[in-house]
Structure 1
């Protein structure tokens, strides 16, 4: 079994990544919502540091405490009881919850999408990011510090990515998670644009 991937993005800055994500979202007339646990708002901070972010960034939820993942984001309680919160399915459900939580007046994503597919302005939040993991220094749910999962959700599907293993201090783990989350969203945006026959931003 191969070792979990680690990120090596030495020449690319967080601002570069966030700027690319906002540019791609704006070019596609799409939006993003975020649900964060270990990163505690750092993904949202990175995105909103970009001029013009308000055209694409909807908002988000910091669900640091486990019960908030259930009550605010709709993460399955049985999943958490069985696997803990450091799990790819939890990250995926957090990303889906981010889309729901940042979609105005929607009772469900399916209902909102059905209403907006015939309009030029879509009110459904298009993309969701979820981050969950162990920043350290101690283990959590039996997982060592540095273990991270990232969820990416869109109208066409949801993925729980990881485990990623980020070395270093608590702060370095959190920073690496933000970089990886934005890089993975950027890849998904480029892929989606290509699938639709569009030129990415």
Structure 2
């Protein structure tokens, strides 16, 4: 669980949302990879942050806002039994939303969408499914494997603050996953070069 003080510090003193989104797009473009997004509480905010970056169209495929629970199952193929059992504020739901976002933004005649992001949580003003305001889960799915969800985050503040924190965290997780993949490829290349 994310501690509020450490997150608040990073939000206030860390890189801006634009910087995080720009770095994610830079890494995607350098790798020739793409991303799709499935959002709930952020209501299109992740997609807006991505498309604020010049040149984002080279890497951003598109996305969907599934604010209604039924649309998470219908559009993103989140397991209905999971929703009935756990509600929509859950790590497995965030991961399935991310996987669904990859699927719906893939199309014939092009390589499958490489990455997916899913966001689900409670922005307020009231709790949902027994989960408190500020509780958030984020999923990042990848064609390369290693797909996972993070959370529960407990973001402080009002609706807008919780949404903005979620958007920045989601793009930070994507950026970090991309950077780790690049680092892994670099290390593998160096090892291969030494072995030759």
For the criterion TM > 0.5, the same-fold answer is yes
* Unaligned 5+ runs, structure 2: 188-196
- Counterpart position of 1:137: 125
- Counterpart position of 1:111: none
Q: Distance in 2 between matches of 1:69 and 1:144?
A: 20
Give 3-state SS (helix, strand or coil) of 2:131's partner.
Answer: coil
The reply on whether 1:147 has 2:142 as its aligned counterpart is no
1:137 Cα deviation after fit: 1.0
Q: Distance in 1 between matches of 2:97 and 2:181?
A: 21
Is the 2:11–2:165 Cα contact (8 Å) retained in structure 1?
A: no
- Counterpart position of 2:100: 97
- Counterpart position of 1:80: 83
* Unaligned 5+ runs, structure 1: 107-121
- Counterpart position of 1:114: none
Is the 1:5–1:163 Cα contact (8 Å) retained in structure 2?
A: no
Is the 2:91–2:138 Cα contact (8 Å) retained in structure 1?
A: yes
1:66 Cα deviation after fit: 0.3
Q: Distance in 2 between matches of 1:197 and 1:125?
A: 23
TM-score (norm 1): 0.87
Q: What is the RMSD computed on CA atoms of the aligned residues?
A: 1.5
What is the 5 A alignment of 1:63-74? Answer: 63-74=66-77
- Counterpart position of 1:163: 152
- Counterpart position of 1:110: none
- How many residues get paired? 182
- Counterpart position of 1:36: 39
Is the 1:35–1:94 Cα contact (8 Å) retained in structure 2?
A: yes
- Counterpart position of 2:164: 175
- Counterpart position of 1:197: 186
1:4 Cα deviation after fit: 3.4
Give 3-state SS (helix, strand or coil) of 1:157's partner.
Answer: coil
Q: Distance in 2 between matches of 1:157 and 1:67?
A: 27
- Counterpart position of 1:9: 11
Q: Distance in 2 between matches of 1:137 and 1:46?
A: 24
TM-score (norm 2): 0.89
Give 3-state SS (helix, strand or coil) of 2:76's partner.
Answer: coil
More helix by share: 2
- Counterpart position of 2:24: 21
